[in-house]
Chains A and B, each alone.
Chain A
Amino acid sequence: EAQVTQNPRYLITVTGKKLTVTCSQNMNHEYMSWYRQDPGLGLRQIYYSMNVEVTDKGDVPEGYKVSRKEKRNFPLILESPSPNQTSLYFCASSLGGRGGELFFGEGSRLTVL
């Protein structure tokens, strides 16, 4: 089954404790991206990757890091989480190699206390 898998799905953590949200896709997509979704603000792009070892900032990259060492994986790293990073996070991948036709993971709800 074609899918984008995120882990963890739910996480409560404390300020400053490094965490990683993993994302894996089994569709051999070149393009992957991370979004956060907040009430009233919609989906905002954090980082994206056009291919292995090629990443770039989206609109809200501050406080996040990413890496793309393998085509299927695109982890999101919060080195020192803060309460304003409490959000619902989505990983997505694209068949077309661009950002339009996106296939989303189930989401990861993160709470930073």
Chain B
Amino acid sequence: QKEVEQNSGPLSVPEGAIASLNCTYSDRVSQSFFWYRQYSGKSPELIMSIYSNGDKEDGRFTAQLNKASQYVSLLIRDSQPSDSATYLCAVPNTGGFKTIFGAGTRLFVKA
């Protein structure tokens, strides 16, 4: 089992819909979780971090964490074509110095 798993996609949603991106992780003691967005040909950029169970909202983005199920998700409301990118889930190890990335989910938002 990979340490951080994501559905590679592509996930295709119409403009204005909710895009739901999922990530599972294997290290039960992980404490912090991050979502990065990577446009084609560009470097990853941090868009969300979450540390506690529940939801964290930032504009159109909501991160959801369930530590018991070892599951973290990212919801994008009112999806826009500019949201089309690859979304990477990242989980640092217990010490925090090594970060494991999922392979990423490609999202296409159709106008």
B43 touches A100 (CB 8 A): no
Q: Does A31 contact B (CB under 8 A)?
A: yes
Q: A43-B44, A58-B98 are in contact. Are A101 and B103 (CB under 8 A)?
A: no
Nearest Cβ in chain B — how far from A101, in angstroms? Answer: 6
Q: A40-B103, A42-B103, A58-B98 are in contact. Are A99 and B92 (CB under 8 A)?
A: yes
Contacts of B8 in A (CB 8 A): 40
Restricting to A49-107, which residues have a CB under 8 Å from any CB of B? 50, 56, 58-59, 90, 98-107
Contacts of A31 in B (CB 8 A): 97
- What is the total of A-B residue contacts with beta carbons within 8 Å? 61
Contacts of B85 in A (CB 8 A): none
Contacts of B34 in A (CB 8 A): 100-102
A45 touches B98 (CB 8 A): yes
Q: Does B109 contact A (CB under 8 A)?
A: no
Chain A interfacial residues counted at CB < 8 A = 25
Q: Does A41 contact B (CB under 8 A)?
A: yes
Bound form: Cα–Cα A102–B37 in Å = 12
Contacts of A106 in B (CB 8 A): 42-43
A101 touches B46 (CB 8 A): yes
Bound form: Cα–Cα A105–B100 in Å = 18
Instruction: Show 6 A/B contacts (Cβ-Cβ < 8 Å), sorted by A.
Output: A42-B104, A45-B100, A90-B43, A90-B44, A100-B99, A102-B90
Where the two chains meet, the residues of B that have a C-beta atom closer than 8 Å to any C-beta of A are 8, 32, 34, 36, 42-46, 49, 88, 90, 92-93, 96-104
Where the two chains meet, the residues of A that have a C-beta atom closer than 8 Å to any C-beta of B are 31, 33, 35, 40-45, 48, 50, 56, 58-59, 90, 98-107
For the complex of A and B, the 3 pairs showing the least CB-CB separation, nearest first, are: A98-B96, A42-B103, A99-B99
